[in-house]
Amino acid sequence: MSTTITSTAPAHDSDRAIDMAGTPVRQRVTWTAQRTSRCRRILGAMTKPFAPKRHLPSSPFKAPVAPAPKHFAVGDQVTHDTHGLGRVIGVEDGVAALVDFGPAQMRILSPYTKMTKL
């Protein structure tokens, strides 16, 4: 399907260009862009978030190994991705660690994904 553009105005005036169906070209391009954006939004909402697949007992492959939980002791020097350098001042067994980051003390919950021991 070819689109022929006819115009009563000079060729450089794209605001007044009209296709064979009588629809202004600029209006048609804008509508197509809006439709494409809407489709991307709908498809984005339909995709599922990443979730690890469970291991089947009958699978010939080995089950993935879960990482060992991190353990911190009082006095450990740690770094946190958001809060920076700090020192552990309290530990709740497997639940949380109380860390002094200088200007603030924060209670960081397990599994400590953003915190590493130095």
Give residue-wise pLDDT tens across range 80-97. 999 999 999 999 988 899
The residue-averaged pLDDT of 58-81 equals 88
Q: Which residue has the tokens 């115009």?
A: 7
Nearest to 86 by CA among 75, 104, 96, 99: 99
Q: What are phi and psi of 73, to 5 degrees?
A: -115, 160
pLDDT single digits (tens) 38-66: 666 666 666 666 677 788 888 898 888 87
Pairing relationship of beta strands 77-80 and 5-6 according to DSSP bridges:
unpaired
Domain count, the chain: 2
pLDDT of residue 35: 63
pLDDT of residue 9: 46
Residue 32 lies in a domain: yes
Q: How confident is the model at residue 7 (pLDDT cuts 50, 70, 90)?
A: very low
Q: What are phi and psi of 101, to 5 degrees?
A: -100, 20
Name the domain boundary from 46, 67, 86.
46
Name the domain boundary from 5, 26, 46.
46
